[in-house]
Amino acid sequence: MRLAMVAGEASGDLLAGLLLGGLRRRWPALRAAGIGGPRMAEAGFDAWWPSERLAVHGYAEALRHYREISRIRAALAERLLAERPDALIGVDAPDFNLGLEKRLKAAGVKTVHFVCPSIWAWRGGRAQKMAASCDHVLCLFPFEPELLRAHGVAATFVGHPLADAIPLVPPRAASRAALGLAPDDTVVALLPGSRRAEIRYIAPPFLEAAGLLHRRRPGLRFVLPVAPGLAPLVEPLVAAHAGGAPVELVQGQSHAVLAACDVTLIASGTATLEAALFKRPMVIGYAMHPLSWQIMKRMRYQPWVGLPNILSHEFVVPEFLQHDCCAEPLAAAVARWLDDEAGRAALAARFEQLHLGLRRDTARSATDAIAQVLSA
């Protein structure tokens, strides 16, 4: 079995790495290659290009890197058309993957898209493009297949692999011990994103909020997990913006940090779902280039951007976007969670129900759906 896979950033690399485990159980001699990151490499993936080459943030940065990304896609398409894998699995990154999938599908290569684009939140017109690009879509959320079928797109709800990978009861004590945190420490996790542009826009207000909290509550511990290779970018930002707050940087270990913390200040994206699965109260913040923000806000269909809020259909956790993503409101919202023990308990119970609803043994379910596509 020879599969091509493309994952465009850290969250896609994580999802694809978990999927590869199920694929190898079905096809032990599987060969998989394309674009991927370290999680996929750990599962035996042959990365012709690293996923970070596609990890751009917003329209403005995408325009800046358009030529390079277009060259990569063209070169990848030519190689795949020459080698003709059994299937192409595009993992998220719809702006890159859907065009690639369309070209290969037209040439007779089976195409599967893993993670339905958020057509229910913005850019619903992509559903039509998916019909021409994908033989099948693997959906993370239960309401998505019906939406896609209305546009003639075959789809299967496979659950979310993070719901399988993250335990229902978070390993709080073990994670604190591994990170050198005491059982009675009050810990705030700072997760400003995994892409360089995200960190440039989001880390400064997060760190300034940590500085305010430190001055008001000197006993707080702050932990910031840093994605591989990004410490040289993060360290100067801590020095410039944290205002003397003792922010501890740890390499990777975002799951341990989420399991250990009392509350997290977190960038919108897959990480917010991870925080919900760890049953952690959170404050969501997000900012981007002003041009990207003007484009994005006109395309939104819903009042929420954070996945926990979208899945709950209400603001169960606060969101501070663009101009509102600044130190004072972020710090105040974190403090409110720290002072609201009953609210934290109620939120954890709600997140447990969300967790159970997303558990479907995703690797097996997705592999079964891919096997059906290949045999069709």
Has residue 90 got a pLDDT over 70?
yes
Residue 63 pLDDT: 63
Q: 344: closest CA among 284, 286, 285, 278?
A: 278
Statement to judge: residues 89 and 209 lie in one domain: no
Q: In what order do the strands lie in the sheet with 46-50?
A: 46-50, 31-36, 2-7, 87-91, 110-114, 136-139, 155-157
Statement to judge: residues 194 and 65 lie in one domain: no
Statement to judge: residues 74 and 214 lie in one domain: no
Residue 128 pLDDT: 81
For 339, the domain range is 172-358
DSSP result, 318-333: -EEEGGG-SHHHHHHH
Buried b (16+ CB within 10 A) or exposed e, 134-163: bbbbbbbbeebbebbeebebbbbbbbbbbb
Q: Is residue 166 part of a domain?
A: no
Could you give the C-alpha distances from 354 to 86, 315, 347, 351, in angstroms and in order?
A: 35, 15, 11, 5
Please classify residue 82 by burial: count the beta carbons closer than 10 Å to its beta carbon, then call 0-12 exposed, 13-18 middle and 19+ buried. exposed
Residue 122 pLDDT: 59
Q: Which amino acid is at 24?
A: R
* Residues 338/186, Cβ–Cβ less than 8 Å: yes
Q: Can you point out the beta strands (E) in 107-236?
A: 110-114, 136-139, 155-157, 187-191, 221-226
Statement to judge: residues 348 and 220 lie in one domain: yes
Q: Is residue 368 part of a domain?
A: yes
- The residues, ordered by sequence, that sit 6+ positions from 229 with a Cβ below 8 Å of its Cβ are 52
Q: How far apart are CA 84 and CA 315, in angstroms?
A: 46
Q: Is residue 22 part of a domain?
A: yes
Domain count, the chain: 2
Residue 14 pLDDT: 85
Compute how many other C-beta atoms are within 10 angstroms of the C-beta atom of residue 297.
Answer: 12
How open is the CA angle 360-10-275, to the nearest 5 degrees? 55
Residue 372 pLDDT: 95
Residue 194 pLDDT: 84
Q: Is residue 54 part of a domain?
A: yes
- The residues, ordered by sequence, that sit 6+ positions from 302 with a Cβ below 8 Å of its Cβ are 120, 121, 310
* Residues 80/107, Cβ–Cβ less than 8 Å: no
Q: How far apart are CA 4 and CA 103, in angstroms?
A: 14
Has residue 46 got a pLDDT over 60?
yes
Statement to judge: residues 126 and 235 lie in one domain: no
**Residue with more model confidence, 91 or 118:** 91
Q: What is the mean pLDDT of residues 218-226?
A: 97
Residue 199 pLDDT: 93
- The residues, ordered by sequence, that sit 6+ positions from 169 with a Cβ below 8 Å of its Cβ are none
Has residue 327 got a pLDDT over 90?
yes
Q: What is the mean pLDDT of residues 135-148?
A: 92
Has residue 124 got a pLDDT over 80?
no
Q: Is residue 167 part of a domain?
A: no
Statement to judge: residues 217 and 354 lie in one domain: yes
Q: Which residues pair with 224 in a beta bridge?
A: 249
Statement to judge: residues 215 and 101 lie in one domain: no
Q: 325: closest CA among 202, 199, 190, 200?
A: 202
The domain spanning residue 94 has which CATH number? 3.40.50.2000
Q: How far apart are CA 96 and CA 22, in angstroms?
A: 24
pLDDT in tens, 261-283: 999 999 998 899 999 999 999 99
Q: What is the mean pLDDT of residues 74-83?
A: 96
Statement to judge: residues 119 and 224 lie in one domain: no
Query: What percentage of the chain reaches a pLDDT higher than 70?
Result: 94
Q: Lowest mean pLDDT of 49-63, 73-87, 240-254, 323-337, name the range.
A: 49-63
Q: Is residue 310 part of a domain?
A: yes
Q: Is residue 223 part of a domain?
A: yes
Please tell me which of 59-73, 145-159, 188-202, 204-218 the model is most confident about, judged by mean pLDDT: 204-218
Residue 37 pLDDT: 92
* Residues 115/130, Cβ–Cβ less than 8 Å: no
Q: What is the mean pLDDT of residues 50-74?
A: 75
Has residue 123 got a pLDDT over 70?
no
Residue 112 pLDDT: 97
SS3 string, 244-268, reads CCCEEEEECCHHHHHHHCCEEEEEC
Q: What is the DSSP letter of 221?
A: E
Statement to judge: residues 122 and 80 lie in one domain: yes
Q: How far apart are CA 364 and CA 23, in angstroms?
A: 8
Residue 279 pLDDT: 98
Residue 57 pLDDT grade (very low, low, confident, very high; cuts 50, 70, 90): low
Has this prediction a pTM greater than 0.75? yes
Q: What is the mean pLDDT of residues 216-229?
A: 94
Residue 258 pLDDT: 98
Residue 303 pLDDT: 80
Has residue 289 got a pLDDT over 70?
yes
Mean model confidence pLDDT for the chain: 92
